[in-house]
Structure 1
Amino acid sequence: MTQHPSFLAQASLLAGAMGDSLGAEIEFWPLDRIAHQFPNGLRELPQHQGIVGAITDDTQMTLFTAEGLIRSWVRGRLKGIVSVAGVVHHALLRWLCTQGVEATVTDADHVGLVEDARLHHRRAPGNTCLSSLGSARHFGEPARNDSKGCGTIMRVAPVAFGVPTGDIRQVAIATSALTHGHATGQLAAAAWAELLHSVFLGEELEQTAVRLLSDYRDLDNGSETADAIEAALYATRDGSPETVELLGGGWVAEEALSIALYSALATSNLEDGLRCAVTHSGDSDSTGAVAGNLLGLLYPDQVFEHPWSNQIECRDLILRLARDLVEVQDWSNEFTEEQFAVYPGV
C-alpha cells in the first residue's frame, strides 16, 4: 500500500532521531566497552545526559534545517524570489543561539523553534558547525574552511522531502557549504539527499545506490563519495560491528554515508538497522541519525509501532516539521494567521 508522503517524511525524521538517541551515549566507545556494557546489544535507548530518548545536535540541526526550508518556500510564494541557502542559514543561526553562541550576523529573528526551551541544550555540537556559523558575515555565505565532517550529512534529510526533485543536489550542496567547505562533504550530503528522495518516491534502495554510484563517479570531486557508496554496496552483509568498522568511523561525511547505507542493506528491519548503524567506535549518534532517516522510509510502520518512538525528546516538533515540510507546497498564497506566525516569510 502506498504511504502518504507526509507519513513517510515523519517516519524518516523520527527514525533519524531514534538513531541519534540510540548512539548518543556510546559515541567514541571502543567495541569492547560497548560489548561489555551491552552484552546482548543495544536493546533499549541508553540514558544520555540523564535523559532516555535525548536528541543531540544532529536532530536539532535537522529540525532547524526543515524550518528554514519551509520558511524559504513561504518567502518565495510571498516575495517571488528567495535564496534557499540564505533562509536556511538564517534558521541555523537561530540554532546557534540555542547553543549559547553569539553570531557575527546578529539580525537573525527569534521566532519559531528557537522559542522552544527544549532545544536550548548543548549536546556535543560539532566545533566546525559552531565556528563556521559563528563567524559568517552574510546570510548564505559559504564556510571558509576545508572540512568534510559529517555535520553536512546528518542534517540533510529535510532537503529530500522539501525541495523539488531537480533542485535537491544544488540545495543540498549550498546548505552543506554553510558550515563545511570541502567538496566531498557537500557531495556526500547531496548524494544522500538524492538517495532518500528516490526511496521516498518508491525507488528500490540498491538500484538507487548503484545509479548514484555511477553518477557521482563521473562528477568532479565525486570520487570519495562514489567510493563510499561502493564500499557499502560490496561489503559483506553480515551486519557485524567489525564490518561496520571497515567502512570508517563516520567522522567525515562520506564515511557516515557508507555506514548508513550499509546498515540498511545488511539488515531487514528498523531496530536491527539502527543497532548496526551505531555499534562501532566512531560517531555513533550521527551514523545512527543518518541511517535512521533511510530506515524510516523503508520501514515506516515499524517506526510508529516501536516503543522507542514514544520516548524521543521533542517528538511533537519532529512530527510537525516533517508534516509541514511536505504539505507547505500545497498551502495557498493566502497563508493562515497561524501558519504565518509559525513560519514567517522572512
Structure 2
Amino acid sequence: MIAKIFYKQELHTNKDRGNSKFLITDKLKNKYTGCMLGAAIGDALGKQNEGVRREEILKMGYIKDHGRAPKGSPGEKLRAGQYTDDTEQMLVLAQSLIACNGFDAADFASRIAKWGEEVRNDPARSPFIGPSSSYAIEKLNSGISWKESGSDIPSCGSAMRVAPIGLFYDRLENVESNAVLSSIPTHKSKGAIAGAVAVAVAVRSAIEGDDRSEIIRKTCERASNHDIGLAAKIGLAYESRNELPDIVFARLGTSYYVYDTVPCAFYCFFRYFEEPEMAIIEAVNAGGDADSIGCITGALCGAFHGIECFSKKWINSLENKDLVENIAISLFKIFSRFR
C-alpha cells in the first residue's frame, strides 16, 4: 500500500516537473519573440517621428499606433506598419547567426553589403540608411575587408541591430565579444562598439529576468570596457528615470549619435519598467532618431516581459510579423539545443 502511494506521488511530482519545464520553455520562447517583435514595432512606430523635433511632436500629439510618416520625412514612402533599416539590419544579423551557428564576421559583412546595395537602389528605403552604414557598405562592396570597412562616426547603427547577439549567447563574455565583432564591419568607433555591447548585454540580462539594478550594473560594467563616457551616460539615464521625459530628453539628446540614442532608449525602458507599451510610446515620441530609440526600447521591453506585453493590434498590423517571429523562434531553438 505504501509503495502504491509512493508511486502515485512520484508520478504526480514528475508530471509537475514536466509542466514546470514546459512553462519555463514557453516563457523563454515568448521573450525571444517579444524581443524581436518589440524591436520591429518600436522601429515601425518611431519612423513616423524620425527627424521631428520634440516640440513639434508635443504640438501634434503622441504617435500611439502604426501610420504613415509625414511628407518630407525619411519614411514618407513607407507603408503603415512597415519598419526601417534598423529592423532589416537586425534580421540580417539574426539570419547570419542562424546560418553560421554563431557569429561569423565575414558572413555577416557579406550579407550586410548585399542588403545595403539592394536598399540603396530602393527609393522608399534608401533614405533611412545612415552615413556610417552607407560609407561601410560602399567600402565592403568595393572589396575592402570587413576589418577595415567600418566608419569612425559614433552613430547608433550597430546598437540598433544587435539584439540577436544577446539572444544567441548566454555567457556575458561571449555576448560582449560578439557584439564588438558585429559592430566593426560598419561601425568601428569606440562609442558605437560600446553601444552595441550595452544593448546586447541588456537584452541578455532582461532575458534572464534580472531586475533593473542588475541590468544596469551588467550593462554599464561591460560598456565601460569600451567607452567609459557612454557607460556613464547610460548610468545617468538610469538615475534620471523618475524625472519627466521633456527634462531628460533635453539632457540626454535624441540625435542619431550613439551617445544620445542608446541612453534615451535605456531611460524609456527603465522609467516605464513595468509599463512596456508606455515605454515604447515615450520612446517613439522622443523626437530626433525616434525609430532607433523605439527599436532599442522595444527590444529591451520584449526581452524582459515577452510577447504578451504588446497589444495584438501592434503585432497584427506590423508588416512581415511572421518573418520576424519565425526568425526569433529559430534563434530560440538553437539556443535551447545547446543550453
Q: TM-score scaled to structure 2, two decimals?
A: 0.82
Per-residue deviation at 1:198?
1.3
Distance of 2:137 and 2:200 partners within structure 1: 22
**1:277/1:69 Cα in 2 relative to 1: closer, same or farther (>3 Å)?**
same
AA paired with 1:63? L
Distance of 1:94 and 1:263 partners within structure 2: 33
Distance of 1:282 and 1:214 partners within structure 2: 27
The residue aligned with 1:25 is: 48
After superposing the two structures, state which structure 1 stretch, 196-205 or 147-156, moved more.
196-205
2:314 equivalent to 1:293 = no
Residue 147 of structure 1 aligns to a residue whose secondary structure is: coil
Distance of 1:215 and 1:193 partners within structure 2: 10
Unaligned runs of 5+ in 2: 1-22, 70-76
The residue correspondences of 1:126-165 to structure 2 (distance < 5 A) are 126-136=130-140, 137-138=143-144, 140-165=146-171
Residue 51 of structure 1 aligns to a residue whose secondary structure is: coil
Q: Which has the higher helix share?
A: 2
Distance of 1:5 and 1:302 partners within structure 2: 12
Per-residue deviation at 1:13?
0.9
Percent of matched pairs sharing the same residue = 21
AA paired with 2:68? Q
**1:144/1:51 Cα in 2 relative to 1: closer, same or farther (>3 Å)?**
closer
Q: 2:93 aligns with which of 60, 65, 68?
A: 65
After superposing the two structures, state which structure 1 stretch, 189-198 or 199-208, moved more.
199-208
The residue aligned with 2:15 is: none
The residue aligned with 1:98 is: 118
AA paired with 2:261? A
Distance of 2:223 and 2:78 partners within structure 1: 42
| Stretches (4+) displaced over 6 A | none
The residue aligned with 2:11 is: none
Distance of 1:207 and 1:331 partners within structure 2: 27
Greater C-alpha Rg: 2
Q: TM-score scaled to structure 1, two decimals?
A: 0.80
**1:302/1:240 Cα in 2 relative to 1: closer, same or farther (>3 Å)?**
farther
Distance of 1:295 and 1:134 partners within structure 2: 34
The answer on whether the counterparts of 1:12 and 1:296 sit within 8 Å (CA) in structure 2 is yes
2:261 equivalent to 1:256 = yes
The residue aligned with 1:195 is: 202
The residue aligned with 2:236 is: 231
Deviation digits for residues 212-246 of structure 1, max 9, x if unmatched? 324544x3x42122112211111152452332231
The residue aligned with 1:245 is: 250
AA paired with 2:64? R
2:135 equivalent to 1:124 = no
Unaligned runs of 5+ in 1: 77-82, 102-116, 333-346
The answer on whether the counterparts of 1:15 and 1:303 sit within 8 Å (CA) in structure 2 is no
The residue aligned with 1:106 is: none
Distance of 1:271 and 1:327 partners within structure 2: 27
AA paired with 1:53? G
Aligned pairs, number: 304
